[in-house]
Chains A and B, each alone.
Chain A
Amino acid sequence: MADDNPEINPAEPGASHNEARRTFLKQSSLLTAMTFTPGPIVQAAAAQFDEKVAAAFEKVPLKLEVNGVKHKLSVEPRTTLLDLLREQLHLTGTKKGCDYGQCGACTVHVDGNRINSCLTLAVMQEGRKITTIEGLANGDNLHPMQEAFVKHDGFQCGYCTPGQIMSAVACIREGHAGSEGEIREFMSGNICRCGAYSNIVAAIQEVKNGGQKV
C-alpha cells in the first residue's frame, strides 16, 4: 500500500473496528456524564456542537504524505498535526500526553526531523512528509529500535513509547547517541513516568553500537 501512494479521501473513511470502538467510547462517556451531571456537560456538548457547525464553513484543503501515503484532506485551521493524525487519519500510535509540548509522547518526524506534533497546526505541514510510529516497521518486521525496546524492556505502561522510539531513531540519525550522557541530553524531550530511562538508554546504545541502519 505504501508503495502505491494512493490518495485517500478522508471524507469517506472506512469504519474500522478500532474506530468504531473509539467512537463508542466517546459517545458512551459523554452520555454517562450527562446522566449524572446535566448542567455544565450539556453546556459543553452545546459548545461542541457550535464548533462543529463553524468548522464546516472554515475548512481548508491540505495535502501531505504520512508514512508514504499521500493524503488530500480538508481540515479546520486549528487542528493540530497530532489531532489530524489521531482523529482524522486514525493513526493512534502517536500519543497525546500533555498536549502542550512538555512530554514528547506526540513526537513524529517531519521531512526527517523530529518535532512535537501537538504544537504545530496541520495546515502548516502542507506538502511535508510525516513519519509516525506506524511508519517505522517494514511490514511484520519491526524496526531495529522497536526490537531493542522490546529486548531491553524500554517501557512499562507503554504510553510514552511511540514518542520515545521516534525520538530515539532521530537521536541516532542526528549523531547524538555518542555516549550515555549525550543520549540522556538528547532524549530529554521525552518524559517517561514509569522511569524506564536506563532501559531506554540501553536500547539506544545497542542499536547505535550494532551499527544497524536506522
Chain B
Amino acid sequence: MNQFQYVRPTKQKAAIDALARDANAQFIAGGTNLIDLMKRGVMAPQKLIDINRLPLTKIESQNGSLRIGALALNGPVAEDKLVLERQPLLAQALSAGASPQLRNMATVGGNMLQRTRCPYFYDTALPCNKREPGSGCGALEGFNRMHAIFGFSDKCIAVHPSDMSVALVALDATVLVSGPKGDRRIPFNDFHRLPGDTPQRDTNLEQGELITAVEVPDGPFTKHVHYQKVRERASYAFALVSVAAALSLDGNTIKDARLAMGGVAHKPWRLTDAEKALIGKPATEETFRQAATVAMQGAKAFEHNAYKLKMAPNAIIQALKTAAAA
C-alpha cells in the first residue's frame, strides 16, 4: 500500500475543506472497498480523511420520508425497525450484499461509491479506461462474463456492484450532499453515471463533496416487495443479475410498480417503461412476462455474458411473482 497522510476531522466543514483543497485526497468511511483497492495499487490517495467521527449515523423519520445518515452501517440499517417497516425492499437489498462482517463496516454512503469489480479495473497490469483513462478496455473483447448488457460504451462495459443502490433507485431516493459550494440534493437516478467517454467518473459528485444522507420517500411499497439476487453461490457473492421489485396492489390489480436491475449496467438500472407496462394490469405471470420483455429492449450481450439476456427477464418475472405473493 502507498504511504499517505491520515487526518480525522470531527467537523463536517473541516472534512469538506480538507478534500476540496487536495485533489489527491480521499474520504475513508468503512474502508471495505478503498483499503482493498489501495492494497492492490488500484487507488493510491496521498491523504486519507477519516470521516467516521462525523455525526452522520442517524436513521430518522421525517415528514414524508426516511432519512438515513451516510455513515449508518449497512448491517444495522438492514435490521432497523423503521427501515423494515417503511422500506422492506431496501432492507432486503442490504441483507443480500456482502457478508455480516462487511455489513458491520460498510456505510450507506460508501456502498453507493463502490467501484466496479471488473477484473480489468482490479489488475494494474491490464488495460482499463476507468483506472487509467486512454489505456483501453480489456473487457470489451476479453473476459466479459460479468459485464453490462445496457448503457455501456466502447470505453467501458463494467457494471456497478451495489445491491443497496438498486433498491434506492427503484424507491426514488435522493442523495444529500454537502460541498464547498453548499448543499445539494441529487435524485438517485442521476447520482451514478453511464460510462460514455469518461468511465473514470462513477458518479456526479464534485470535488470536495461529501454524502451526508439518503432520503427515501414514504410510499405504498411496504408489503409486496422482493429483491431477487442471482449469484454463483447461495450467499456472499456479487450479483450476476439482481432485481428490485415493488408493487402496490388493489385486489389483484397493480396500482403502482417499481422495478430496477443490478449487475447489468454501469449504474443501477431503473426500468420505468417496464413499470408502465405493469400499472393497471392484473398481477399475473403473463403481465410480468410482458413487462420483462419491455425491460429487455435494447439489451446487448458480449462474448461471455449472453446468458444475462435470458437470466435477466427470468429474474424480473421471478421477482415480481414473489413480490405479488408477499
Q: Is the CB of A186 within 8 A of B100?
A: yes
Q: Is the CB of B234 within 8 A of A188?
A: yes
26 A-B residue contacts at CB 8 Å? Answer: A54-B3, A77-B48, A78-B3, A100-B36, A100-B40, A101-B32, A101-B36, A107-B101, A114-B100, A114-B104, A115-B105, A116-B101, A119-B32, A119-B36, A120-B30, A120-B105, A121-B48, A124-B31, A167-B100, A174-B100, A176-B100, A184-B235, A188-B100, A188-B234, A189-B99, A189-B236
- Across the interface, name the chain A residue whose C-beta is closest to B79: A174
State in angstroms the CA–CA spacing of A87 and B40 once bound together. Answer: 20
Q: Is the CB of B6 within 8 A of A77?
A: yes
Interface residues of A in 103-138 (CB under 8 A from B): 104, 107, 113-116, 118-121, 123-124, 126
CB distance from A204 to the nearest CB of B (A): 13
B2, B8, B101, B102: the one contacting A126 at CB < 8 Å is B8
How many contacts A-B (CB < 8 Å)? Answer: 90
B301 within 8 A of A: no
Q: Size of chain B's interface in residues, with CB distance under 8 A?
A: 30
Given contacts A77-B48, A185-B235, is CB(A124)–CB(B28) below 8 Å?
Answer: yes
CB distance from B45 to the nearest CB of A (A): 11
B61 within 8 A of A: no
Given contacts A78-B3, A100-B39, is CB(A119)–CB(B236) below 8 Å?
Answer: no
Over the window 167-187 of chain A, the binary record of Cβ atoms lying under 8 Å from chain B Cβ atoms (1 yes, 0 no) is 100110010100000001110
A residues within 8 A CB of B104?
113-115
Interface residues of B in 96-149 (CB under 8 A from A): 98-102, 104-105
Q: Is the CB of A167 within 8 A of B235?
A: no
CB distance from B320 to the nearest CB of A (A): 24
Q: Is the CB of B101 within 8 A of A115?
A: yes
Given contacts A58-B3, A77-B6, A119-B105, is CB(A170)–CB(B100) below 8 Å?
Answer: yes
A99 within 8 A of B: yes
A60 within 8 A of B: yes
CB distance from B119 to the nearest CB of A (A): 13
CB distance from B125 to the nearest CB of A (A): 16
State in angstroms the CA–CA spacing of A51 and B4 once bound together. Answer: 12
Main secondary structure on B side of the interface with A:
loop
Q: Is the CB of A77 within 8 A of B4?
A: yes
B35 within 8 A of A: yes
State in angstroms the CA–CA spacing of A82 and B35 once bound together. Answer: 12
A146 within 8 A of B: no
A94 within 8 A of B: no
State in angstroms the CA–CA spacing of A167 and B38 once bound together. Answer: 26
B253 within 8 A of A: no
B3, B4, B35, B75: the one contacting A80 at CB < 8 Å is B35
B52 within 8 A of A: yes
- Across the interface, name the chain B residue whose C-beta is closest to A51: B3
State in angstroms the CA–CA spacing of A177 and B40 once bound together. Answer: 35
- Across the interface, name the chain B residue whose C-beta is closest to A55: B3
B14 within 8 A of A: no
CB distance from B124 to the nearest CB of A (A): 15
Q: Is the CB of A189 within 8 A of B100?
A: yes
Q: Is the CB of A123 within 8 A of B100?
A: no
Over the window 35-47 of chain B, the binary record of Cβ atoms lying under 8 Å from chain A Cβ atoms (1 yes, 0 no) is 1101110000000
A residues within 8 A CB of B3?
51, 54, 58, 76-78
B297 within 8 A of A: no
Q: Is the CB of A188 within 8 A of B99?
A: yes
State in angstroms the CA–CA spacing of A155 and B40 once bound together. Answer: 30
